Structure 1
Amino acid sequence: MVNKAEIIGRVTIIVVVFVGAITMLIPFIWMISTSLKVDSEVFTFPPTWIPDVIQWENYIEALNVANFGKIFFNSTYVAVVTTILALLLNSMAGYAFAKFEFWGRNVIFILLLATMMIPFQITMIPIYILFREIDLINSYTGLIAPNIATAFGIFMMRQFMQGIPNALLDAARIDGASEWRIFFQIALPLMRAPLAALGIFTFMFSWNNYFLPLVIITDESLKTLPLLISSLSAGLYVQSWPLVMAAATIATLPNIILFFFAQRYFIEGMALTGIK
């Protein structure tokens, strides 16, 4: 039988979670509300959550600003290719660190984890100089290459890979399976949940990445959505906050849709990775 103190504890947790969820939703709700207003209503006081006249035209105008369709394609292409390559390379590296014995494995892994403490602001100038020397400035490759293998992704895959029984892999080796076949037909199918979690993290990071395109891209035709929204907010193309918020809302939708369809695998993957 549930006692009174336990009921109070559960109710308190529910209330705290609900208040936290509402607090985190407020900026998103305000963004949508502002995207449907006229310019004169944006800075009214007290602020209005529901516009007097809903301006759906703001979204149409946002799509017509600064070749929005091409820029949306750039972000989609870079994020999708980065995610696919990151899932492949990070899982392969994680598998190697978890299941293979080689000289210096632990030292290399510790050094790899240490790179997580280095902020991008320190490495962006060396990256720019390197990419300029190998002619990757103003290219999709320059936007994709730095994020296809990360210390976080390798660590996450290794943690889960350590939970796969070695006996299962040894049985496949005894049956004559090659290491590539063991990886692709045995290890990877067991990693669907953590791969989904890593895929969401990678896609969202690539989609929202601002500093790397800012350093690598100067060509207007290769700009990504974060650069476009930054330019809109600075008044480079238009002087309208509703249009900025409309563009930001459109840019947010792919992340929301991705998480909506993959949330079960994401939550399962995060839970399993933590346990492993």
Structure 2
Amino acid sequence: MSLGEDSIQSRESVEANLAEEDRWILSRLANATEQTTQGLERFRLHEVADGLYHFFWGEVCDWYLELVKSRLNTDSAVSSREAARTTLVTVLDGALRLLHPIVPFVTAELWSQLPWPDGAERPEDLIIASWPKADEKDRCASTEEAMAGFQSLVTEVRRVRKEYGVGEGKRVSLLVNGGPEGFLASISARTAALEQLARIDRIESGVGSGVGANAVLPNGAELFIPLEGVIDVERERGRMEGEIARLAGVLSGVEKRLANEKFVANAPEEVVGTARENAAQLRDQVEKLREKLVGLGE
């Protein structure tokens, strides 16, 4: 992925062509700028470093870069590509300025290689560049809410794919029921991104039935992913039954220890507490696997 050799357009010239992911990352940059500034003023350097790590790696790299990859290709529409390029430069400039007090030399070198928008005055060096200010016009709660729903959906589908052993090349369909008003329309408009990030090839409204996996998003939307024909159901059922048997055996051993009055009375409190925590975790794992078996038509 590359920004290309063409000059970077000004923010004002691409404003009308910003996509939802552009407005989202600009809103997140405004939030990161405010949080970083407040943290530095209070000398909370560990909080600043942690917050910037999650912003740069968790939001810019894990999500925004993945979403704009296709738009940066020369085959994409010029207006969309230029909006993505300008947004990316804006975000990288802001992020590097925020990171500079913590990682001075690396950020200075990266910033020196950053292309600059047409007509904008560029400081000689990052160390003398002005400290960024949170741009209030970039804040957009509705965009952040919409993106949060999209992210949670992708995360849940990825989790289901991993837990059920769905091959990376396999496409899955998705049934969505409930959720906030306009949620289905919002995610349906992002079919290309969903195909790219979660290998979803079809989205419909409805309640699922038959062999499949269920999930509920934080916004209340219910998901159903049909698995018939996507995985080897009998093989997956056998795998889950074997895992349930294994976990049940481990749980039985822990419960026997906890049923021993001498162990509970004489063992250190932290050892007994750890055993009880392990038992609770094992019960939870067994229960979740049994629920999945039901979804596979036990």
TM-score, normalization by structure 1: 0.25
Which structure is higher in RCO with an 8 Å CA cutoff and minimum separation 6? 1
TM-score, normalised relative to structure 2: 0.23
Determine which structure has the larger strand proportion and give its number. 2
Q: Which has the larger radius of gyration?
A: 2
